[in-house]
Amino acid sequence: MLNSKLVSALAVAGVALIGAQSAQAQVIKVDGSSTVYPITEAVAEEFQKAKKNAIKVTVGISGTGGGFKKFCRDETDFSNASRPITKSEMELCKAAGVEYIEMPVAFDALTVVINPKNAFLKQATVAEMKTLWEPAAQGKIMKWNQVNPAWPDAPVKLFGAGADSGTFEYFTEAMVGKAKSSRGDYTASEDDNVLVQGVSRDVNAIGYFGYAYYAENTAKLKALAIVNPKTGKAVEPSAANVENGTYAPLSRPIFIYVKAKSLQKPEVREFIEFYMKNAAALIKEVKYVPLPAAAYTGNLEHVKKNKIGTVFGGVNEIGITIEELMKREAKM
């Protein structure tokens, strides 16, 4: 009796393997950045509701870089990215014959946060942030008054993004001047909630992460105003200050990259149209800064005219404003 059970189990497994290659329902596959994930997730959720689940969408999180790897291997229909595509990724895609349309979807304000009980920090300059975070500071800059003599003789407690995240890459490039160049003696975590907890428990703590985590935890944290190097004025992170371009250099655009070949499929085209039409409202809901309406119609225009490629040339630029981005996209 038992051996017949074994045999049938093996047979089932065997048939499963053979039947495996047969029909698959239409699925739109998305992967990439965890920063962009909440936006695409919200759009996918609403889209499936609107379509009564006739079109299926899956969204994965494997980071901007991991997402591009899959995208350039022709495994996904579009990729979430918290930075523009890099040169090496462009080459990968080119080698695989993957062509894409770049679509900026929103702005994020990288937010430097401190404890709400911190009385001495009102604002900080990029130079001060550099002193605090540059690799040379490791083991040396341990007290606040070493950064600015006006600040007290109190220990500095640092919290920041883990080295694999796009946030870390952008913050170090914007503050220290070189991507991924940072001191190592700070509490690093890929899980931003760990950083939220850390900063909210220590008066002398300072940390950074995406605006959404600050916006959901305003009772526990205070956002630090950063001095705009161009105007010399301290600006707090907010939707308005990102829109008018004054919160610089920590404002960054975030993107989706859509495969040109996938856009020939009606369901992908429909999803992208839905995405661009509903993005503004949904993006506000998940605490990012939407682009002006012209940006979304511009993206759809690019789809119609099949404008392939990137406007960044494989370089991650610091402190680009919405206005500049719009101009550049329009020229394409």
Partner 1 sequence: MKPLTTEQIRAVIAKGKFRDNLFKAIGVFCLAFALLVIVALIADMLLKGAERFTLDFFLNFASRRATQAGILSAWVGSLLVMLVTALAAVPLGVAAGLYLEEYAKRNWITNIIEINVTNLAAVPSIVYGLLALGIFVYMFGFGQSILSAGLTLALLILPIIIVATREAIRAIPAMIREGSMAVGATRWQTCHYHIIPYAMPGILTGVIIGLARAIGETAPIITIGALTFIAFLPPVPFSEIDGGGSAGLFDWVMSPFTVMPIQIFNWTSRPDPAFEVNAAAAGFVLMVMVLSMNAVAIYLRYKMRKNIKW
Q: Which residues bind partner 1 (CB under 8 A)?
A: 2-3, 6, 9-10, 12-13, 15-17, 19-27, 29, 31, 34, 37-38, 40-42, 44-45, 48, 53-54, 56-62, 70, 190-193, 210, 212-213, 215-217, 285-287
Q: Which is nearer to partner 1, 260 or 286 (CB)?
A: 286
Q: Which is nearer to partner 1, 54 or 240 (CB)?
A: 54
Q: Which is nearer to partner 1, 14 or 229 (CB)?
A: 14
Minimum gap (Å) between residue 30 Cβ and partner 1? 8
Q: Which is nearer to partner 1, 179 or 194 (CB)?
A: 194
Minimum gap (Å) between residue 330 Cβ and partner 1? 31
Minimum gap (Å) between residue 205 Cβ and partner 1? 18
Minimum gap (Å) between residue 14 Cβ and partner 1? 10
Per the DSSP assignment, residues forming a β-bridge with 100 are: 259
Let me know the angle formed at the C-alpha of 46 by 59 and 71, rounded to the nearest 5 degrees. Answer: 25
Minimum gap (Å) between residue 77 Cβ and partner 1? 13
Show the tokens assigned to 2: 């038992």
Minimum gap (Å) between residue 301 Cβ and partner 1? 28
Q: Which is nearer to partner 1, 237 or 245 (CB)?
A: 237
Q: Which is nearer to partner 1, 21 or 304 (CB)?
A: 21
